Amino acid sequence: MKPEVLQLNPILVPSINEKLDALYTMRRYYEQEDKEAYIREVGQRIRGVITGGHTGISRALMERLPSLEVVAVNGVGTDAVDLAYARQRGIPVTGTFGALTEDVADMALGLLLATCRNLCAVDRFVRDGLWPEFPQPGSIPLARRVSGMQVGIVGMGRVGQAVAKRAAAFGCMVRYTDLQPIAGVGHEFIPELRRLAEASDALVLCAAADKAEGIIDARILEALGKGGYLINIARGRLVNESDLVHALRSGAIAGAGLDVFVDEPNVPQELFAMDNVVLQAHRASATVESRTAMGEMVLASLADALAGRRPAMSLTT
Ligand code: 8YV
């Protein structure tokens, strides 16, 4: 009998789904109308869970899966999983570490460029047929140069380092903060986030959310200043969103490029009318290449755990 695996989020790569279906009895939770009844029906037999980084799994749901042997997160953020509880039960919680680094860093640079150079606002201006109507050069405000900016990276893990590499290639001066200096990183380490914000034209958030919830608030945005930009490709809850809306509205910062939000898929409505804000829908790892590599890592984690081996990407065992 094939092991039963509960899948909390869809995977968009057909080859990965084919492999999952060949190896396991897939229980696609996200397709169920009555999730409660579904867990009553299949919960006892579930040996593996696949979930997304943002979705994670609640402790309450894990408690209803007595045969659970592995939680494979199809992502790198494990902040939505109760790791201490998993550890207590001896359940490996795995991530897809390294699989999405380059794409997430590309998105950070894409958002920085799009925000500073007004790419989306000007795209709308052209599409809406406004250029012939307002052909004067002054109809579109001048943009902000990205090359040579002072870039502050918050969280110098794999993604932070990949962002640093790209920013340096644009001639940017890179500084960073983290819980401690990161070995092998040559950029200047600034322990206090506020000082980093003061020294930066753009802050790029690359930190895990579990130890950093709400760290970007009015005080930090004020330190970033009127000419400053905030880029977030990590987690929405790193930011106090109402402080951010207020800072953008009052001109306390110059703009923001955001891929992630506190209450996805709900985005603060106030941002929709702001041309100095570029919005994405949690898309940083959403390439065929990353999602295929991530899916392969999920498959490897399930295979190891269900064969009684410790998965290489386990954080809890
Ligand atoms: C993914 C993420 O969108 O890696 C993470 O933690 O949030 C994202 O890259 C998500 O995990 C896909 O399911």
Percent of the chain whose predicted confidence (pLDDT) is above 70: 100
**Whose CA is closest to 4, among 44, 52, 53, 57?**
44
Whether cis (ω within 30° of 0) applies to the bond prior to 66 is no
Query: Which residue in this structure is represented by tokens 């999602």?
Result: 291
CA distance 190 to 193: 7
pLDDT in tens, 129-147: 999 999 999 999 999 999 9
> Which of 76, 106, 210 best tests ligand 1's pocket when mutated (most atoms within 8 Å of CB)?
76
Q: pTM for this structure?
A: 0.96
Residue 211 has a pLDDT of 82
Å from CA of 55 to ligand 1 middle: 9
Annotated active-site residue in 27, 187, 235, 291? 235
Contact 146, 112 (CB under 8 A): yes
Average pLDDT, stretch 187-193? Answer: 98
Residue closest by Cα to atom 8 of ligand 1: 75
Is residue 57 predicted with pLDDT exceeding 90? Answer: yes
Contact 229, 116 (CB under 8 A): yes
What's the pLDDT band for 210 if we cut at 50, 70, 90? confident
pLDDT in tens, 270-300: 999 999 999 999 999 999 999 999 999 999 9
Which stretches of the chain are DSSP H helices?
Answer: 14-23, 35-42, 59-63, 83-89, 101-116, 119-127, 130-133, 158-169, 193-199, 218-224, 241-250, 288-306
What's the pLDDT band for 21 if we cut at 50, 70, 90? very high
What is the chain's length?
Answer: 317
Instruction: Output DSSP code: residue 273.
Output: G
pLDDT in tens, 165-176: 999 999 999 999
Average pLDDT, stretch 22-34? Answer: 98
Report all structural domains of the chain as residue ranges with CATH numbers, in order of start: 4-97+289-306 (3.40.50.720), 101-279 (3.40.50.720)
Is residue 195 predicted with pLDDT exceeding 90? Answer: yes
Average pLDDT, stretch 53-73? Answer: 97
